[in-house]
């Protein structure tokens, strides 16, 4: 592998749409804590209208991921888009987020992480921010080469619905943590 001398060691957090400032600050802190990297917040880019599928009335997460490198600083090691819109992927009717596996970019949305108004939320159900942080860590984990984890408590466990997101913890199991550290070292010192 060749050494990557131009890429920095930061995570770029890119708001796109109506995302609360206090949520962005909490996300940045959670990213710093879980990945041990500085986090830079960019200016809000507004909703990504280029990704809107008018027929579905949803936004294509893959189109957003492809655009993120043009928006974020070139020196960012990883880029996380954060939005409030309804995301879909061509193979899923909706997604909480999506990432380039062992790539550079990921996106997460608050849209499907809100409690369902028709359901009876469980007492003590984690707030929206708790779910958003878990899904953001999960998607960034994919950019570092982590796959879904069979441990339902691990943040890399696949979230079929918000119940799964509530079930897992906002950190990596020991096996995923070890893999993350290896991939972090590889990405930072040898270049991705």
C-beta neighbour count of 162 within 10 angstroms? 21
Which residue is listed with tokens 């953001």? Answer: 136
Question: Any idea of the CA torsion for 79, 83, 88, 93, to the nearest 10 degrees?
Answer: 130
Which residue among the candidates 98, 133, 135, 139 is catalytic per the annotation? 139
Nearest to 78 by CA among 96, 95, 103: 103
Indicate if 139 belongs to the active site: yes
Three-class SS of residue 46? coil
Residues labelled catalytic: 139
């Amino acid at each position: 592998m060749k050494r990557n001398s131009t890429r920095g060691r930061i995570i770029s957090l890119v708001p796109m749409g109506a995302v609360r400032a206090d949520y962005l600050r909490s996300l940045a802190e959670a990213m710093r804590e879980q990945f041990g990297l500085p986090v830079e917040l960019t200016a809000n880019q507004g909703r990504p209208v280029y990704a809107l599928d008018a027929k579905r009335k949803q936004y294509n997460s893959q189109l957003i991921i492809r655009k993120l490198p043009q928006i974020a600083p070139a020196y960012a090691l990883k880029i996380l888009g954060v939005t409030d819109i309804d995301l879909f992927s061509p193979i899923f009717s909706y997604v909480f987020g999506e990432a380039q596996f062992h790539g550079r970019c990921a996106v997460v949305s608050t849209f499907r992480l809100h409690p369902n108004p028709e359901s009876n939320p469980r007492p003590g159900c984690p707030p929206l921010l708790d779910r958003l942080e878990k899904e953001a860590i999960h998607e960034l984990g994919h950019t570092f080469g982590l796959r879904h984890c069979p441990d339902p408590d691990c943040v890399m466990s696949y979230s079929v619905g918000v119940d799964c997101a509530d079930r897992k913890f906002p950190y990596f199991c020991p096996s995923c943590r070890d893999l993350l550290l290896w991939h972090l070292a590889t990405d930072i010192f040898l270049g991705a």
